[in-house]
Amino acid sequence: MTQNEIKAAARTYIDAEQDAVFAREVEVLLETGKWEELSDRFYTDLEFGTGGLRGVIGGGFNRMNPFVIARATTGLARYTAQAGSLRNDGTRAAVISHDNRRYSREFALSAALVFAAHGIKAYLVDDLRPTPLLSFAVRYYKASVGIMVTASHNPPQYNGYKVYWDDGAQVVSPDDTNIIQEVMAVKPGEIRLLEKDDALRQGLLEYIGADIDDAFVAMVKRQSVQPELLREKGGEVKAVFTPLHGTGAPLVERVLGELGVQVITVPEQRAPDTEFPTVAFPNPEEASALEMALALGRRESADIVIGTDPDADRLGIAVPDGDDLTLVTGNQLGVLLADYVLGQRQALGTLPQEPVFVTTIVTTALQRAVAEHYGAQVYETLTGFKHIASIMRDLEKDPAGPQFVLGDEESYGYLIGTEVRDKDAITATMLTVEMALHWRNQGISVMDRLRQIWQNFGYYEEQTISKYFEGQAGKATMDGLMQQLRTAPPASLGGTAVERIYDVKTDQIFYPARGSSEAGPGLGSSNVIQFFLADGTRVSARPSGTEPKIKFYISACSEPSRDLPALQKAVSGRIAAIEEDILAIIQEASR
């Protein structure tokens, strides 16, 4: 952008922004001539993608701020007024929730007042709440639409805005693209917010709190596989828990406490804090995020260590193994939960006649083997719980057909039952504690059970490589890397030949050795490339849809064997060699 173009865009924003703090921020940048910073804030509009918004907080069209929130909600409200489902009384409603991010409360209120200005009743949480509660609340209030203001596990400078439709799932086609069109059509002068007092007086704004908490907690308990086990022996479990300064503490502590479980919350990380001062990344996928919980777990001789991310939709755990606590990966916990829920429901006779397990194309294939062992149909879909929820929606069209039981993705997200339509760390926490208690009653540990699974189905190991690319130049580098993988793919990785390549974006499978291609499974378009190696290893490359980073997922396996140490050494060596090649590819693309 030229300086004149930047000035014009900045002035348009300043005139449209109703929050003086954000408007002044841009004015100061203009006064001090920070043209590179201004260019990054105005070279594009913050993209309203298929799931909503996420970006750095600040003034500008390419930032998260009250103007961007109000503009997005105006488009969303217009679409809801046209296409949103009606309640029994012929009205439409929205549910808005938020976490403890910077400005989350203010952004949520702005969104609620935009809905109110369009005659759509807004149910707004009275304080921060987890993401899964928002999904549940949309269904509970029979609302047309929902918004969760959260940046999940991103660093403190981020915030986000996730859109849900009337089934409690994030929006999918065609609603997502239709909403985007409405948002892009909104002009600054068309944005309207009803005054808060007027909205309350007219019944277009209602705060919600204790009632929805009670209903949510009751729902979580309904997902128990063996409720009598927790009632009778929950008091035997000592759990150390960290919400990582986020929303998880009240509901996790309440659910486990009401079941008799002794919960010891990391005191330094219990209170919500926008800055997440004790962690580099508030994400249970990162081992460093659970360091304080692990230290407390060792001191307390905990039976399980639990960590949830700031909006409490992701769950990470550690369990005793030998003389120490061992972190369990997202893939491994997914295997353990599938094994427990499907296996015990089968044993108890509560498993549906045609059970369904749903996972994603970058999640370990061991889950498929375990689920099929218990007679479940396994559906694979694109990354993201909106795709899992879409399968749930399709299954419900035939009540007499296959029934969803649980689903997950490798990035520490789990969903059990059908009353929530997004990943739910609260319910997953309860079932993980129940699962650990079950195996202890059988005389084995959680890790013992995982080793049994490896012996029966083969040893599986996964590794994820993440590379961040910040700013305009970073996005160009990331795009170039994906283009390189498409046009000049590696012939081998880690010394093993690439047998086939699946480009999910074009739904084409290419066979390098014979130079032929065929149509893929038709999962839908997504910017993902998968490489399948001759030894059964799968490597997937996927730019994040919510962060400026690209992720490579490596999944390798062996045949079943009782000699687990030898298998682990061999598989780990294969992964290390592949990782070295991938890092070289990233380095070359970054030059």
Residues 320, 82: Cα–Cα separation, whole Å:
54
Q: What local confidence, expressed as pLDDT, does residue 545 receive?
A: 64
pLDDT tens-digit map of 103-128: 999 999 999 999 999 999 999 999 99
DSSP 244-303: TTSS-HHHHHHHHHHTT-EEEE-HHHHS--TT-TT-SS--TTSGGGGHHHHHHHHHHT-S
Sketch out the chain's domains with CATH numbers.
Answer: 44-208 (3.40.120.10), 225-456 (3.40.120.10), 460-590 (3.30.310.50)
Is residue 427 within 8 Å of 132, Cβ to Cβ?
yes
Could you tell me which residues come within 8 angstroms of residue 330 by beta carbon, excluding any fewer than 6 positions away?
A: 285, 316, 408, 409, 410, 411, 412, 413
- What stretches of 384-533 adopt beta strand conformation (E)? 403-409, 413-416, 460-468, 492-493, 496-503, 508-511, 516-519, 529-533
Residues 1, 517: Cα–Cα separation, whole Å:
42
Average pLDDT value for residue range 344-371: 97
Note if the bond before 174 is cis, omega within 30 degrees.
yes
Is residue 467 within 8 Å of 589, Cβ to Cβ?
no
Q: What local confidence, expressed as pLDDT, does residue 470 receive?
A: 76
Neighbour order of strands in the sheet with 355-360? 377-381, 355-360, 403-409, 413-416
Q: What local confidence, expressed as pLDDT, does residue 33 receive?
A: 96
Could you tell me which residues come within 8 angstroms of residue 277 by beta carbon, excluding any fewer than 6 positions away?
A: 245
pLDDT tens-digit map of 506-541: 999 999 999 999 999 999 889 999 999 999 999 999
Residues 352, 347: Cα–Cα separation, whole Å:
12
Residues 162, 138: Cα–Cα separation, whole Å:
13
Share of the chain above pLDDT 90, in %: 91
Of 144, 152, 390, 540, the active-site residue reads 152
pLDDT tens-digit map of 142-186: 999 999 999 988 889 999 999 999 999 999 989 999 999 999 999
Give alpha helix (H) positions in 271-415: 291-300, 330-348, 366-373, 385-395
Residues 428, 412: Cα–Cα separation, whole Å:
10
If one counts every other C-beta atom within 10 angstroms of the C-beta of residue 115, the result is: 32
The answer to whether residue 336 scores a pLDDT higher than 90 is yes
Active-site annotation holds for 411 = no
Q: What local confidence, expressed as pLDDT, does residue 546 receive?
A: 60
Q: What is the bridge-based pairing of β-strands 355-360 and 508-511? A: unpaired
Residues 340, 333: Cα–Cα separation, whole Å:
10
Strand partners, 125: 208
DSSP single-letter state for residue 314: B
Residues 343, 259: Cα–Cα separation, whole Å:
22
pTM given for the model = 0.94
Residue 514 to residues 345, 472, 486, 490, 506, Cα–Cα distance (Å): 46, 39, 17, 15, 19
Average pLDDT value for residue range 26-52: 91
Q: What local confidence, expressed as pLDDT, does residue 477 receive?
A: 87
Average pLDDT value for residue range 564-580: 95
Q: Which two tokens stand for residue 104?
A: 């989350």
Share of the chain above pLDDT 70, in %: 99
Residues 387, 384: Cα–Cα separation, whole Å:
6
Three-state DSSP string of 103-140: CHHHHHHHHHHHHHHCCCEEEEECCCCCHHHHHHHHHH
The answer to whether residue 547 scores a pLDDT higher than 80 is no
Q: Scan for tokens 């922004």, then name that residue.
A: 17
If one counts every other C-beta atom within 10 angstroms of the C-beta of residue 177, the result is: 12
Average pLDDT value for residue range 568-591: 93
Is residue 74 within 8 Å of 114, Cβ to Cβ?
yes
